[in-house]
Structure 1
Amino acid sequence: MDKSIKKIILLGSGALKIGQAGEFDYSGSQALKALREEGISTVLINPNIATIQTSEGVADTVYFLPITPFFVEKVIQKEKPDGILLAFGGQTALNCGTELYQSGVLDKYDVKVLGTSVEAIMITEDRDLFVKKLNRIDAKTPVSQAVESMEDALKAAHTIGFPVMVRSAYALGGLGSGICTNEEEFVTLCESALSFSKQILVEESLKGWKEIEFEVIRDKNDHCFTVVPMENFDPLGIHTGESIVVAPIITLSREQIALLEDIARRVVRHIGIVGECNIQYAFNVETNDYRIIEINARLSRSSALASKASGYPLAFVATKLALGYSLDQIGEMGTLNSAYVAPKVDYMIVKIPRWDLSKFAGVSREIGSSMKSVGEIMSIGQSFEEIIQKGLRMIGQGMHGFVGNRDLTFDNVEEALSNPTDLRIFAIADAFEKGFTVDRIESLTKIDKWFLEKLENIYNYTHVLTQYKKIEDLPKEVLAEAKRLGFSDFQIARYVENPQGTMEPELIRVREWRKKQHVLPVVRRINTVASEDPEKTNYLYFTYGSDKAYQPVKSGKEVIIVLGSGAYRIGSSVEFDWCSVNAVETARKLGYESVMINYNPETVSTDYDMCDRLYFDELTFERTLDVIDIEVPKGVIVSMGGQIPNNLAMKLHRQNAPILGTSPESIDRAENRHKFSAMLDRLGIDQPRWKELSSYEEVDKFVEEVGFPVLIRPSYVLSGAAMNVCYDKEQMHRFLEMAANVSKEYPVVVS
């Protein structure tokens, strides 16, 4: 290790935005933890108050300042650091660090860039340098031309031939990128791309090829390996942040994976990466032809995903490598616990993005090469069927899995399959319902048959379930197979008895019947790497796809369960992660064992050493009861994770779960408008006139009495989702058609 380094500045990523969210709070917090272990003094620059890394005790000094060259230079003047880390604050930190380097500020104050050099970063960010550098080792990149004017762009497009792909340099989340099939589309996109980037790249379109990603780690001694290779469910043409991603790679042969791994190592060595980087390929399965699409010489959303998918703490290890350690010096050498050992994976994971497009009127639902999603989830299990159904429930948009979602039909299925939107996966379910074959869906979507066949397995099993008319008639093997295919108790109840309303009693009946038949999930553990004591790492998930159960190691102390906040969305993001992390830490300080349930790979709360046991699993009523059965807690905290845990409070209470803090009745009194209103009346507090109505006629009649404008809202919502002020009848009726879909069980409130 470089002993001259006593003080380091770490640049954070600033405000959360599309393409750059909580994953940098996670990687920055890990980096600060690694520096603290070495006794190095840390200075953090990050103006985002809602993050864990800006909390007391994580960094030695925090500056809530913009991450711009002007302010960072002022901090350097004052703090006189020996080194600076640029890889932990996303594109914001990289761009700022590159400017400080080019303007000579870092040299002037003798500040060393730790880890990957700025020259190497610039090669990965400047498309022209990137292509030239890779050509030297015969690594293939898409045929492309970097241009800085519209005139040159048009020349390039005609040389390459349509369709072409347009990308911007130094841009985040695919900003200003897209595929153009003709000159008109091309001119429009280039005008917009050139407005916020001085250089754009015009390249051959590889739409329909597979997209494959590797996270590569390399130390100063040139030890180099890949961590969890991942493949995109969606073919190339959709940004990896917008794509469903599966690990490990399923649809390539061992030889094909080895070929890509070998190229990844060659490229990373050639560029001179020290630490961690992400490399993305386009791959043609028929011809074994490949192109390197891009390299991120920093931690990214994919690295957060790979860390959580493998239990390999990439950001922590990358920080140690930046300080000059080699891989064999991190963790205990010669054990499974060394950072020198690539993690072994005996399970599958899927990442699914979360979009909040319904919040914006008139927005296009199509997804493509620039990012629109605001959050993501990761689901772990033993089969693709299990993880995709679990994952679609985790998104938290009212879906119950791949199937069993009412009112999700598409007028033009072919259109919905060939032009991807945020709902395309459900269009596949609808296509099966309408008699489409796997081959036909494959030709429309270019999604690999292997995935489509697994989805078809789920769809086909719904016909088995509908043969039974009563929950208690379900044989053990039918129940067990449904659970292996990822069906929830809710879906099973819906297919068997098709009840209306909240279905809570039916769901409980399925649960009780399952228990009688001994159809129960088992807990499995993910082996973590480079942790202080691997035997004590309790990074856990539930599955029905295995008989081997892991018994969580308990200390005998009383247990507190904290429910996390799930996927980031508009109105609920990193601030609830801050709450959850503080809750588990406080429970630990008070002498309890802390247990966390959450499934968001971008968060600090899903870092396995933040709590005594982490269940990386669903925050559903069913799964929370499973955790309670195993943990037998002193209490469950529902107030730290935003709306998701809050909505579970009453249901858990009815099953006698010990809820800590505000009582579930009181939570319900605040959330349920009738109870809240009655309470205001009792207390003599004024409130606007309102009424809960369940038909258009009732609404019209009430509005005639009170007059426009009126506020319309469904019950139990987050940050006013689907809440609207209407100024006339036409607008109100248009809005009601949308809002009625928001929540079937709850009528609409007009005030």
Structure 2
Amino acid sequence: MFKKVLIANRGEIALRIIRACKELSIPTVAIHSEADATGLYVRKADEACLVGPGPIEGYLNIYRIIDLAKQKGVDAIHPGYGFLAENPEFAQACQESGLTFIGPPAAAMRAMGDKVSARQKMKEIGVPIVPGLIEPIASLNDAVRFADEIGYPVMLKASAGGGGRGLRICKDREDLKRHFPIAQTEAKASFGKEAVYLEKYIHAPRHIEFQILADQEGNVIHLGERDCSIQRRHQKLIEIAPSLLLDERLRREMGEAAIAAARSVGYTSAGTVEFLVDSSRRYYFLEMNTRIQVEHTVTEEITGVDLVKEMIRIAAGRPISIPQSQVFLRGHAIECRINAEDPQKNFIPTPGKITAYSSPGGIGIRIDGNVYAGYVVPPYYDSLLAKLTVRARTWDGAVQRMRRALDEYVIRGVKTSIPFYKRIMEDPDFQTGHFDTTYIDSHLDKLNVAADYFRMDKMLAIAAAIAAHSKR
């Protein structure tokens, strides 16, 4: 096992990795910017060091991070998610410096990181892909010609993309002509490559992803699926495991496709194979995320498998600790991403000081977070404050538990997505599993949270008046 691990990340995922390392008796080193110096993860690590300069640049500085690792006597680096987590150059640089990268090989990351080459590979091994091109579009004329052939609507997507960046839905030829240069510009700005490709737009699909684990001995398993259909601007908000849509036959078939995808590129470590499932229950490969996912918690809750520990063990040359025959999905789990955002103002980020913080508790409640009362939410990063995950024996029980947990959750000083999630948990369509990737957009009016904020502000005003009166 490793003698010391550096976490090349920040926030809640850094704290999650630190906790896994502590249970494995591995000392940890956290890196932080000046803006993150007061983060909870920095306090919990055995050692911490400033990675600057700037709030973001340090987390992306490959050679600065490797240099710090060597200074601290580290022999392995865990990248978490985001930043350098899916950067094959980082994985390669770690290897060349004599450090173990706790993640997949650089070659596997390259093969799956480019969406076009990944689609080509999936087509070769017989995994269904969304109808469309399997090579980058050379020109607007080529895009128009191919779109005319497969029919509108179509999607323009960045070849090296993800997270909704460089993605444009085009309902007709004029839309395509207008969005083509915009998609190229976004792709270049976000991923360093302006290459885009085109595929058929599938209306109102379910977004289903399969968690896989693969070790260096050739063992590959899947740990069931997560339904990530509740999204806003292609960003996931709520994740569910297992999916209410899949039956055992479809789960087995899609799980085998996910395993085949991982094997095809010599994958090791934890990874996620994402699919779209249409209204006829046909599934199509979307992409593979070559890292730990934000929403890995729901899979851990229904399988009992610690995915971060498995990543560390696999990187150290150990086999997967559980065979496929012993993977059982027990109960239901839901994760809500508690973001510092204002749903009343188009979900704009709301950085600032948290003046009060009290998290829920009780049976089946899990909090993965990095904040506390007095913490100042910086404006430089993703707005995620914490992940609230609940587990229950039944789906209805999980929904009711999440409603109760959201009611208990208190965060003051910044607006959050908590009132928005309360409305979702109360919505009959969500409660009965009638949702897809269009759910948020089609339910925005129904999910209006103005009344919740008004009631909350009124309660705070009354409490302040009572406090002021009692001091007289």
Q: TM-score, normalised by structure 1?
A: 0.46
Distance 1:294 1:271, change over 3 A: same
* 1:222-244 CA-partner distances (Å, limit 9, x unpaired): 2222213233556x9973714x5
Find the residue that maps to 2:166 and give its secondary structure.
Answer: coil
- The residue that corresponds to 1:167 in the other structure is 157
Answering whether residue 398 of structure 2 is matched by residue 387 of structure 1, we say: yes
Answering whether residue 13 of structure 2 is matched by residue 44 of structure 1, we say: no
Contact persistence 2:226–2:298 (CA under 8 A) = no
Aligned-residue offset at 1:301: 1.4
Identity %: 15
Find the aligned partners of 1:354 and 1:108 in 2 and give their Cα distance.
Answer: 38
- The residue that corresponds to 1:396 in the other structure is 418
Aligned-residue offset at 1:279: 1.1
Distance 1:121 1:427, change over 3 A: same
Distance 1:378 1:273, change over 3 A: same
- The residue that corresponds to 1:223 in the other structure is 219
Find the aligned partners of 1:294 and 1:398 in 2 and give their Cα distance.
Answer: 29
Find the aligned partners of 2:298 and 2:14 in 1 and give their Cα distance.
Answer: 13
Contact persistence 2:210–2:224 (CA under 8 A) = yes
Distance 1:390 1:375, change over 3 A: same
Distance 1:209 1:299, change over 3 A: same
Find the aligned partners of 1:73 and 1:158 in 2 and give their Cα distance.
Answer: 49
- The residue that corresponds to 2:14 in the other structure is 25
Contact persistence 2:108–2:267 (CA under 8 A) = yes
Q: How does 1:64-463 map to 2 (within 5 A)?
A: 64-65=51-52, 66-67=58-59, 68-76=61-69, 78-79=71-72, 81-86=74-79, 88=80, 90-95=81-86, 97-100=87-90, 105-106=93-94, 109-142=97-130, 143-144=132-133, 145-147=135-137, 153-154=143-144, 157-158=147-148, 160-195=150-185, 196=189, 197=191, 198=193, 199-232=195-228, 239=234, 241-242=236-237, 244-284=238-278, 286=280, 289-328=282-321, 342-352=326-336, 356-360=341-345, 377-392=388-403, 394=406, 396-397=418-419, 420-421=439-440, 424=443, 427=446
- The residue that corresponds to 2:352 in the other structure is none
Which shifted more, 43-52 or 255-264? 43-52
Find the aligned partners of 2:228 and 2:31 in 1 and give their Cα distance.
Answer: 34
Distance 1:277 1:402, change over 3 A: closer
* 1:458-516 CA-partner distances (Å, limit 9, x unpaired): xxxxxxxxxxxxxxxxxxxxxxxxxxxxxxxxxxxxxxxxxxx99xxxxxxxxxxxxxx
Aligned-residue offset at 1:273: 1.9
The one-letter amino acid paired with 1:421 is I
The one-letter amino acid paired with 1:360 is K
* 1:667-703 CA-partner distances (Å, limit 9, x unpaired): x9x97332454477x5xxxxxxxxxxxxxxxxxxxxx
Find the residue that maps to 2:308 and give its secondary structure.
Answer: helix
Find the aligned partners of 1:311 and 1:136 in 2 and give their Cα distance.
Answer: 34
Identify the structure with bigger relative contact order (alpha carbons < 8 Å, sequence gap 6+): 2
Distance 1:403 1:106, change over 3 A: closer
Find the residue that maps to 1:298 and give its secondary structure.
Answer: coil
Find the residue that maps to 1:263 and give its secondary structure.
Answer: helix
The one-letter amino acid paired with 1:44 is A
* 1:89-130 CA-partner distances (Å, limit 9, x unpaired): x121225x433456xx44653434344101111112111221
Distance 1:362 1:157, change over 3 A: same
Distance 1:392 1:187, change over 3 A: farther
Contact persistence 2:206–2:436 (CA under 8 A) = no
Contact persistence 1:115–1:323 (CA under 8 A) = no
The one-letter amino acid paired with 2:83 is T
> For structure 2, which runs of at least 5 residues remain unmatched after alignment?
53-57, 349-381, 407-416, 429-434, 449-453
Aligned-residue offset at 1:275: 1.7
Aligned-residue offset at 1:397: 1.0
The one-letter amino acid paired with 2:200 is E
Find the residue that maps to 1:255 and give its secondary structure.
Answer: helix
Contact persistence 1:213–1:279 (CA under 8 A) = yes
The one-letter amino acid paired with 1:358 is P
Aligned-residue offset at 1:422: 5.9
- The residue that corresponds to 1:53 in the other structure is 41
Find the aligned partners of 1:177 and 1:154 in 2 and give their Cα distance.
Answer: 16
> For structure 1, which runs of at least 5 residues remain unmatched after alignment?
17-21, 329-337, 364-370, 409-415, 430-500, 503-642, 648-667, 683-751
Contact persistence 2:224–2:255 (CA under 8 A) = no
- The residue that corresponds to 1:674 in the other structure is 465
Distance 1:27 1:206, change over 3 A: farther
Aligned-residue offset at 1:139: 1.8
- The residue that corresponds to 1:685 in the other structure is none
Distance 1:291 1:309, change over 3 A: same
- Structure 1 or 2: larger strand share? 2
- Count matched residues: 399
Contact persistence 2:159–2:196 (CA under 8 A) = yes
* 1:553-608 CA-partner distances (Å, limit 9, x unpaired): xxxxxxxxxxxxxxxxxxxxxxxxxxxxxxxxxxxxxxxxxxxxxxxxxxxxxxxx
Contact persistence 1:166–1:179 (CA under 8 A) = yes
